[in-house]
Amino acid sequence: MLVVQSIAKNLQMPYDYKSIFKVVSDIKTIPVQLEKRSYSIYLDDNWESLFQEGLSSIYTKDASDRKLLLITDENVANWYQQAVEEQFRNLGFTVTTAVIKPGESAKTLGEAEKLYDIALEANLDRQSLVVALGGGVIGDLAGFVAATYMRGVPFVQIPTSLLAQVDSSVGGKVAVNHPKAKNVIGAFYQPQSVLMNVSSLKTLPKRELSTGLAEVIKYGVIYDESFLSWLETHMTDLMSLDLSLLSKAIQRSCEIKADVVSQDETEQGLRAILNFGHTVGHAIESSAGYGSYTHGEAVSIGMIVETRITHLMGMVPAEYVNRLEAVLIGAGLPVTLPDVDPNVLIGWMRHDKKNIGDKIGFVLPVGPGRVEVFHNVETDIVLEALA
Ligand SMILES: NC(=O)c1ccc[n+]([C@@H]2O[C@H](COP(=O)([O-])OP(=O)(O)OC[C@H]3O[C@@H](n4cnc5c(N)ncnc54)[C@H](O)[C@@H]3O)[C@@H](O)[C@H]2O)c1
Ligand SMILES: [Zn+2]
């Protein structure tokens, strides 16, 4: 882990940020309504306007003694560390940056402990800010550190992968992994603000763009059929990084996730619909070994298998399965199962958190733009859908 300590050069700087930068932008703001924990997501294509709109209203007071721990990974630091640090310094922050190795293996208690060490060395107090700059791994890890350091310090998310922008940075789930299971040590902890720079997707590897698109397509299937149609029309342009269209896709995805989360923050009911494709998807990830498939690739196959299940139950026509296959393939995603014994996959599904007793829980499409939770699917039907 590399640590960079940098001090704001001019602590006398005025903090009326709007007077420093004059930015013409069409920033999008998506409110996340969670009573006292409400906040907004800001979406634009440049850092200046994002910081101006998304942070200057929170940080208007004299900031001469304000500290910040910026957590990022090596890939993201390479592109965005400097620009983001500069924006925070302009707001009067003393910035300490921790750069960690990329990948899921960083989401551990051990890595969190190293970050607590850095936070203590930099004298971060309860008013200090923890910032996640990166994909979902960084968001989950930094969020976990923010939720636990001194019983919770303010937290800001700057998601840079598509998956983080449409999914992991929205809704307040933060976690690290345990050697025996993913995401089992965590909390619900909402950020103060989420800043999304759609331009950051220009440097994202293509495979990671596809993995994020799997979740985007999921929102159309579970919540909004017209969004699904829109995605079908624009998939080629989305894949070739049309930022204006990507921005629209991110906005609609965030609106849908925010709507679901604001009705069920702590996953007592409705929030489960976000797990469409995930019962089978998680089983594929587990049986293939983490790393063989990206999360979105496994969920893509999962969405097809789970739609086939409802087709076999007589709830959606075969054309709907074909329609989903086409849009997922267009997004560069796999739709066919790896060569694994279906019984092994069912074995993994029996560990799913949506299960009740020994009944496997599935979120299944019951019509375009609509899903329901089922606990009564016959094993024979699941096997047939996996065949
Ligand atoms: N909290 C939640 O609600 C939630 C929801 C879904 C997923 N997750 C978690 O999110 C994680 C997966 O997130 P992810 O897919 O973003 O993975 P990730 O954070 O590993 O990022 C994917 C890769 O892209 C790189 N990267 C990110 N942004 C980049 C950019 N703009 N340019 C170049 N490279 C960039 C990263 O360094 C990494 O190598 C998993 O740990 C998963 O459990 C959490
Ligand atoms: Zn997912």
Please state the length of the chain: 387
Taking CB atoms and a 6 Å cutoff, what residues make up the pocket around ligand 1? 73, 75-76, 79, 102-104, 107, 134-138, 140, 160-161, 163-164, 167-168, 171, 173, 183, 200, 203-204, 208, 211, 295
Integer Cα distance of 375 and 361 in angstroms: 5
The rounded Å distance from CA 96 to ligand 2 centre is: 31
pLDDT in tens, 78-108: 999 999 999 999 999 999 999 999 999 999 9
For residue 350, what are the contacts with CB-CB under 8 A and spacing of at least 6? 358, 360
223 pLDDT above the threshold of 90 = yes
Q: How large is the average pLDDT for residues 273-301?
A: 91
Same-domain check for residues 34 and 146: yes
pLDDT in tens, 304-351: 999 999 999 999 999 999 999 999 999 999 999 988 899 999 999 988
Same-domain check for residues 197 and 218: no
Same-domain check for residues 163 and 29: yes
CATH of the domain at 377: 1.20.1090.10
Contact assessment for residue 26 and residue 160, using Cβ atoms and an 8 Å cutoff: no
Same-domain check for residues 168 and 248: no
Same-domain check for residues 175 and 212: no
* Number of domains present in the structure of the chain: 2
Same-domain check for residues 214 and 298: yes
The rounded Å distance from CA 316 to ligand 1 centre is: 33
19 pLDDT above the threshold of 50 = no
Q: Which of 100, 140, 166, 190 to mutate to test the pocket of ligand 1 (most atoms within 8 A of CB)?
A: 140
Distances (CA, A) of 72 to 2, 3, 92: 10, 11, 20
CATH of the domain at 134: 3.40.50.1970
Q: How large is the average pLDDT for residues 285-301?
A: 89
The whole-number pLDDT of residue 13 equals 38
Determine whether 278 is an active site residue. Answer: yes
**Which residue, 283, 296, 309, is CA-closest to 363?**
309
Query: What's the predicted TM-score (pTM) here?
Result: 0.92
Same-domain check for residues 82 and 13: yes
**Which residue, 324, 331, 340, is CA-closest to 283?**
340
Integer Cα distance of 378 and 312 in angstroms: 11
Ligand nearest the Cα of residue 105 is 1
1 pLDDT above the threshold of 90 = no
Which of residues 158, 183, 201 is at a domain's end? 201
The rounded Å distance from CA 248 to ligand 1 centre is: 20
Which ranges in the chain belong to alpha helices (H)? 17-20, 47-54, 74-90, 109-121, 136-148, 162-163, 206-223, 225-239, 243-263, 278-288, 295-312, 318-330, 342-349, 379-386
List the strands of the sheet with 2-6, edge to edge: 2-6, 93-100, 66-73, 129-134, 155-159, 193-197, 39-44, 28-32
Tokens (6 digits) for 58:
């929170």
Q: What percent of the chain has pLDDT over 90?
A: 79
Instruction: Provide the pairing of β-strand 2-6 with 129-134.
Output: unpaired
Q: How large is the average pLDDT for residues 151-178?
A: 97
Same-domain check for residues 147 and 236: no
Which of residues 173, 201, 229 is at a domain's end? 201
The whole-number pLDDT of residue 59 equals 76
pLDDT in tens, 184-216: 999 999 999 999 999 999 999 999 999 999 999
The whole-number pLDDT of residue 7 equals 38
Integer Cα distance of 128 and 148 in angstroms: 13
The rounded Å distance from CA 33 to ligand 2 centre is: 22
The whole-number pLDDT of residue 315 equals 95
Which of residues 154, 174, 201 is at a domain's end? 201
Domain hosting 345: range is 206-386
